[in-house]
Every structure is written in structure tokens, then in C-alpha cells.
């Protein structure tokens, strides 16, 4: 039986929500990942030091809970210290004094264009350099990375490509600011990586697997609907190439985004694919199928450690090529591949 071991896996883009949903999904990530970058788009969004500290405490409490729902994996209770929530603030035009005060509590600041995705109504409505400069210059000086959901309000298939000039403008005007293009979905975004030294990117599991045809080419599949929406085959191939070849500026970020089943299978379907419980297993299967299993460690951990200078808590995850049937649901959330059998399983976590 083929096996593969990953050291200190990191999820560099994760949604944990809050309340009952947080308690359901957080242990699924803390079980197999050493840490994750936590998104701040709650309702209301996380914009203050007090809110951020309180949210982190709720996450730590949730990751100490046992998962025990019908038809779900029953993970053993894990020590909180084995999972580090790397906290982010929702971007606003913060003064330097505030950023200095909160610096030790945050990992990064996440920028959303206004209304472009889930709970982003309070995001940026104009990329006016004069308005943004004080905050971005302070972030650069304090070494606070800027994470961006890069889409315009244009035609849905073109929104990310249309955002590329904004990435270029920001990278050029703030060369000392670490900028991460979040959950990229296009060939044009992959090409941007080699144009500016301070630009990096995260790539999701689902965008390595699906195109728009998988979402809406036949019967509509709401549990594959996400933002940014899946794109064309040539875009998926560009993402695959960057991930499989362990491009040093690319990191795994699941963008695992849980929504209750009744919000997904509904008019006005919520955007988000829930992959947290099966991410490492499916990545093993994908990289192995392409003969690139030796590069998975870089994609899920080493690149992020190098880019950010991280030293995560030790965690060793051993996976084996053994079939695993994905549960139909975790609480109220339906995962990717629900009810289907995938080729790899988690054998042991140390």
C-alpha cells in the first residue's frame, strides 16, 4: 500500500465562520493542519483588536471539541496548541497607530472589493492610491502582508483577469509590501507571479479540479459554486502546472467555505466549496496521479514557511492509498465529493 507523509501542513486561506458552524468545521481543519490563515468576513466583519482576540479565542475553544455528528468522522480531541489560527483583519483605511497596537495579534489584513463575495459589503469601493497609501505604507513598514480577493464587478468570467492591473499598480507603488493574490483561478494570474517580486498567490483544491463546465455544464451543482467562479480548462491547467511543479510563490489555501445545505440548495445559492475534511487526501491523489507527489510538501507547507518565515507547530500526517467514502454531510454542511469514494485516506496524525 502506497503511503506519503506530510510535515506541518498549512491552509493559507480558510473560512471557519462562527457559532455552531465554527464548532462543527474548526476541528476538521485542526485535526490535519498545523495552522491556517483565518478569514475575517464574519457578520459584522473583524475590524478591531478586541473582535480579533475574541474570535481567536472562540476558534481555539472550538478546535478542542470532539466532532461527533451522525455520518461524520469522529476525531480524537486534539490539543489546541497543535493548530495555530493565523488571524486577519478586514481591510479598512487603518491609521498607523492602530496597526502598531494590533501588530502582534494579526498575521495579515484581508482586502475585499465591496460586495464581490460573501459578507464583503463593507469592502473597498475605490482603489484610490491617495486614500490607501497611509495604510499600505504602514503595513509595509510593519511587515503586515496584504491578502486580496482580486475581482472587479465586470462579466463574471473576466473579473479576475480585469483585476490584474490593480495588482500590478499596488505591487509597483508598494514594492516593500507583501501582496498575496488569493485563490487565483486564471492563467493570467499565474503569469503575474513572475512579473513582480512582492506578489504571491494561494490556490484552492477545487480550482485545481474543476472548470465552469463542472458547475453548470449539465445539471447545476450548487455545492461546486464558488467565488471566484471556476474558469476555463486552460486556466485550470495553468493552476495545476504551478502547483504540481511547486512554484515557489504559490501556496495551498483551501478557501474551504462552509454554508448550511439550505443556503446552498436554494435560490440565491451561497458561494463556497467545503473541502476542509478531504483536502489533504484529494491533494495526495491528484499529485500522485500526475507523478508529482514529491512536490506536495512544498505546496502545502514549505512554500508558505519560506514566504512568510513561519515556524509552525510540529505535526506529521501520514496518508495511504486506501479508499475513503466521504460523509454525506458534516452537521448541516455538504462537503465536496459527498457520498463519493476518494482514493487516499489519512492513516495517522502525530
Q: What phi and psi values does residue 47 have, to the nearest 5 degrees?
A: -130, -5
Listed in sequence order, the residues at least 6 apart from 284 whose beta carbon sits closer than 8 Å to its beta carbon are 4, 293, 296, 319, 321, 344
Q: Annotated catalytic residue: which of 74, 101, 158, 255?
A: 255
Does the annotation mark 255 as catalytic? yes
Q: How far is CA 180 from CA 67, 167, 264, in A?
A: 32, 9, 28
Q: Supply the DSSP symbol for 283.
A: H
DSSP class per residue in 61-129 = HHTTSPP--TTS--PPP--GGG-EEEEEEEP----HHHHHHHGGG-SEEEE-BTTSSTT-TTSBS---H
240-245 contacts, C-beta under 8 A, 24 or more apart:
240/208, 240/290, 241/190, 242/190, 242/193, 242/201, 242/203, 243/203, 243/208, 243/299, 244/287, 244/290, 244/292, 244/295, 245/292, 245/295
Q: What phi and psi values does residue 169 have, to the nearest 5 degrees?
A: -60, -45
Residue 344 near residue 281 (C-beta atoms within 8 A): yes
Q: Which residues pair with 110 in a beta bridge?
A: 90, 147
Q: Mind telling me the catalytic residues?
A: 255
Amino acid at each position: 500500500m502506497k503511503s506519503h507523509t506530510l510535515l506541518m501542513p498549512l491552509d493559507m486561506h480558510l473560512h471557519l465562520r462562527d457559532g455552531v458552524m465554527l464548532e462543527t468545521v474548526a476541528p476538521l481543519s485542526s485535526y490535519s493542519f498545523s495552522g491556517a490563515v483565518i478569514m475575517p468576513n464574519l457578520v459584522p466583519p473583524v475590524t478591531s483588536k478586541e473582535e480579533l482576540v475574541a474570535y481567536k479565542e472562540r476558534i481555539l475553544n472550538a478546535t478542542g471539541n470532539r466532532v461527533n455528528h451522525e455520518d461524520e468522522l469522529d476525531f480524537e480531541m486534539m490539543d489546541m496548541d497543535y493548530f495555530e489560527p493565523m488571524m486577519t483583519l478586514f481591510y479598512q483605511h487603518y491609521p498607523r497607530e492602530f496597526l502598531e497596537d494590533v501588530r502582534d495579534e494579526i498575521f495579515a489584513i484581508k482586502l475585499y472589493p465591496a460586495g464581490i463575495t460573501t459578507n464583503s459589503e463593507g469592502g473597498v469601493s475605490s482603489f484610490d492610491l491617495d486614500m490607501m497609501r497611509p495604510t499600505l505604507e504602514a503595513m509595509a513598514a510593519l511587515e503586515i502582508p496584504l491578502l486580496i480577493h482580486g475581482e472587479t464587478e465586470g462579466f463574471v468570467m473576466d473579473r479576475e483577469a480585469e483585476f490584474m492591473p490593480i495588482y500590478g499598480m499596488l505591487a509597483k507603488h508598494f514594492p516593500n509590501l507583501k501582496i498575496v493574490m488569493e485563490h487565483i483561478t486564471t492563467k493570467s494570474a499565474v503569469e503575474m507571479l513572475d512579473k513582480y517580486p512582492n506578489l504571491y498567490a494561494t490556490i484552492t483544491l477545487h480550482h485545481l479540479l474543476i472548470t465552469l463546465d463542472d458547475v453548470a455544464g449539465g445539471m447545476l451543482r450548487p455545492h461546486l459554486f464558488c467565488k471566484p467562479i471556476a474558469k476555463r480548462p486552460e486556466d485550470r491547467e495553468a493552476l495545476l502546472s504551478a502547483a504540481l511543479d511547486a512554484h515557489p510563490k504559490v501556496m495551498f489555501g483551501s478557501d474551504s467555505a462552509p454554508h448550511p445545505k439550505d443556503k446552498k440548495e436554494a435560490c440565491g445559492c451561497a458561494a463556497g466549496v467545503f473541502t476542509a475534511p478531504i483536502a489533504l487526501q484529494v491533494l495526495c491523489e491528484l499529485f500522485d496521479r500526475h507523478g508529482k507527489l514529491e512536490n506536495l510538501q512544498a505546496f502545502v507547507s514549505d512554500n508558505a514557511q519560506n514566504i512568510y518565515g513561519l515556524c509552525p507547530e510540529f505535526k506529521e500526517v501520514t496518508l495511504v492509498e486506501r479508499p475513503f467514502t466521504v460523509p454525506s454531510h458534516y452537521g448541516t454542511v455538504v462537503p465536496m465529493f459527498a457520498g463519493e469514494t476518494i482514493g487516499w485516506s489519512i492513516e495517522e496524525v502525530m
